[in-house]
Amino acid sequence: MIKWLEYRNSNSKDIVKRSEGESVRILGWVSSKRVHKDKIFLSIRDRYGYLQIVATPEESSDNIFNLAKTIPVESAIAAEGIVKHDPRAPNGVELRLKDLIVISKADIWPVTKSALKSPELMYDKRHLTIRGPRSRAILLIRSGVIKAAMEYFEKNDYVLINAPTFITSAVEGGATLFKLKYFDDYAYLTQSSQFYEEAAICVFEKVYVIQPSFRAEKSRTRRHLTEFWHIEAEAAFADHDDIMKVEEELVSYMLNYLNEHYSGEIKTVKKSGIKIYEPPFPRISYDEALEILHSKGVEMEWGEDFGADEERVLSMQFDTPFFVYGYPASTRSFYHMNDPDRPEVTLSSDLMAPDGYGEITSGGQRIHDYNELYNKIISFGLDPSQYEWYLEIRKYGMPPHAGFGLGVERFMRWILELPHIRDATLFPRTPSRVYP
Ligand code: ATP
């Protein structure tokens, strides 16, 4: 058995610092191979990226040269070679192959050129196609999105909590709930951790979660998943304006963080890089948004919610993220606080991405008064007994508070201009896909 450490005294990142002529070893996968008459180019992928390895009959023994020639792509290997700095090599450095050990030989790669043209086939083989440079870069950027959000919240004194996945009361309405058998009873998969965050702010004042939410979305769009990662935050002693500031600061922080730490990966996905926006973002009311839509020929009445089509038209008019605030009470869940100066609208907003991308966050001030919440639940035709514990926290010192949720994949689709939201996640879940 190979002693792994002995076979990894370098890697695709470290190698640029190594001296010309030095002998080094790396572990990785053969991501691609080009065979010429007297030269074989292997591109080796490891945790850090890619490295070019060159085999020639002069520098490699016959056995090693032939092995390099015949090795199937995606085989896991250990390689030893001599460092050669060469501006023509992808990172300005390559290894001239001396020794090659096949640790795990790959079968013939099943993703053919024609499969590349079919998104469905590509996603049937997602367990393999994630190895490509584009998926690899997107998934690394995704890890950066989560790290950036955590860093922002930690710097701002928020406490990370974890909320349950099995729940009994709907946050966002019954239409998109996944119901499942829970022993002799039924439970649902969580749509949002907001209610649990609201309980926790009475301990920590400011909390956040980063975990999956589930929506049985019937609409098959390019911006909906049935399982998505939700960055949510809730703050006590805060109002709607306060939480909008947190949202724009967070978005800007994440953009700057990604630009600083993931510029290479971003270029792999989007050559022009990502755009950076600094707060404050413009704010327009629902009424103003409706006027814009009417002026663009969209027919809809006051009190109707904006769907994907309306958001696209609206956000085409902006080249920076912008808030739409003051949504009619009829378009928002029961827990939203009505505006005391204008009770037909709520103290709520959506942050819209520009250029047609539409909603990326949704937030607002929650009702903190017991009676007000109880009456709103009744007025929505809901059963207060379904919300017993959620109501009860209002009996024991619930201060004014506000919060929001941002979908990780939605955010990524926007900044990287991905054709479909499924590209932003490792193994996407959509109405037609729970495999692999
Ligand atoms: P939409 O109207 O776009 O379906 P929503 O109003 O139902 O979204 P919220 O319940 O407010 O969304 O969720 C907060 C955020 O979570 C959204 O702004 C979005 O970023 C993300 N999100 C919501 N639903 C989905 C989904 N099905 N797939 C991916 N992300 C989602």
260 lies in some domain: yes
429 lies in some domain: no
Strands 93-104, 49-55: pairing is: parallel
267 lies in some domain: yes
User: Using alpha carbons only, what angle is made at residue 247 by residues 242 and 253, rounded to the nearest 5 degrees?
Assistant: 125
Q: What is the dihedral of CA 106, 112, 115, 116, to 10 degrees?
A: 90
Is the CB of 190 inside a 6 Å radius of any atom of ligand 1?
no
From the CA of 232, give the closest atom in ligand 1. 14
Is pLDDT above 90 for 170?
no
110 lies in some domain: no
Is the CB of 362 inside a 6 Å radius of any atom of ligand 1?
yes
pTM: 0.96
- 324 within 8 A of 284, measured Cβ to Cβ: yes
Is pLDDT above 80 for 134?
yes
| Structural domains in the chain (count) | 2
Beta-bridge mates of residue 46? 49
- 76 within 8 A of 29, measured Cβ to Cβ: yes
Tell me, what's the pLDDT at 71? 98
Same domain? 224 vs 363: yes
- 431 within 8 A of 217, measured Cβ to Cβ: yes
407 alpha carbon – ligand 1 mean position (Å)? 6
Tell me, what's the pLDDT at 2? 73
Is the CB of 346 inside a 6 Å radius of any atom of ligand 1?
no
**Closest Cα to atom 31, ligand 1: which residue?**
407
Same domain? 51 vs 153: no
Is the CB of 413 inside a 6 Å radius of any atom of ligand 1?
no
118 lies in some domain: no
Dump pLDDT digits (tens) for 334-369: 999 999 999 999 999 999 999 999 999 999 999 999
Is the CB of 86 inside a 6 Å radius of any atom of ligand 1?
no
Same domain? 75 vs 145: no
Tell me, what's the pLDDT at 114? 82
Dump pLDDT digits (tens) for 36-68: 989 999 999 999 999 999 999 999 999 999 999
Is the CB of 334 inside a 6 Å radius of any atom of ligand 1?
no
Cβ density class 23-54: b for 16+ within 10 Å, e for less: ebbbbbbbbebeeeeeebbbbbbbeebbbbbb
Q: In terms of residue numbers, what domain contains 138?
A: 124-424
Same domain? 219 vs 317: yes
Same domain? 78 vs 147: no
114 alpha carbon – ligand 1 mean position (Å)? 34
Residue after which a domain boundary falls, among 73, 104, 135: 104
Is the CB of 407 inside a 6 Å radius of any atom of ligand 1?
yes
Is the CB of 215 inside a 6 Å radius of any atom of ligand 1?
yes
Dump pLDDT digits (tens) for 391-417: 999 999 999 999 999 999 999 999 999
**Closest Cα to atom 2, ligand 1: which residue?**
307
CA gap 211, 258 in Å, rounded: 20
Is pLDDT above 90 for 117?
no
198 alpha carbon – ligand 1 mean position (Å)? 19
CA gap 234, 230 in Å, rounded: 13
Q: Which residues contact 49 (CB under 8 A, 6 or more apart)?
A: 12, 13, 91
411 lies in some domain: yes
115 lies in some domain: no
| CATH number where 82 lies | 2.40.50.140
Tell me, what's the pLDDT at 122? 92
Is the CB of 225 inside a 6 Å radius of any atom of ligand 1?
yes
Kindly list the distances between the CA atom of residue 171 and the CA atoms of 47, 121, 180, 213, in Å, as whole numbers in the listed order.
Answer: 40, 35, 16, 11
Same domain? 200 vs 74: no
- Using DSSP's 3-state secondary structure scheme, residue 424 falls into helix
Same domain? 318 vs 249: yes
Tell me, what's the pLDDT at 112? 85
| CATH number where 265 lies | 3.30.930.10
pLDDT level of residue 379 (50, 70, 90 thresholds): very high
Is the CB of 405 inside a 6 Å radius of any atom of ligand 1?
yes
- The arithmetic mean of pLDDT across residues 21-29, rounded, is 97
Residue after which a domain boundary falls, among 53, 73, 104: 104
Dump pLDDT digits (tens) for 294-313: 999 999 999 999 999 999 99
Smallest Cα–Cα separation from 2: which of 69, 67, 78?
78
From the CA of 225, give the closest atom in ligand 1. 28
Same domain? 86 vs 147: no
111 lies in some domain: no
Is the CB of 231 inside a 6 Å radius of any atom of ligand 1?
no
pLDDT level of residue 3 (50, 70, 90 thresholds): confident
- The arithmetic mean of pLDDT across residues 245-262, rounded, is 98
Same domain? 270 vs 316: yes
Tell me, what's the pLDDT at 221? 86
Smallest Cα–Cα separation from 350: which of 389, 381, 324, 380?
324
Is pLDDT above 80 for 173?
no
**Burial class of residue 375 (count of CB atoms within 10 Å of its CB; 0-12, 13-18, 19+):** middle
From the CA of 215, give the closest atom in ligand 1. 27
Same domain? 128 vs 98: no
Same domain? 138 vs 166: yes
Same domain? 306 vs 368: yes
CA gap 289, 304 in Å, rounded: 12
Smallest Cα–Cα separation from 35: which of 56, 64, 19?
56
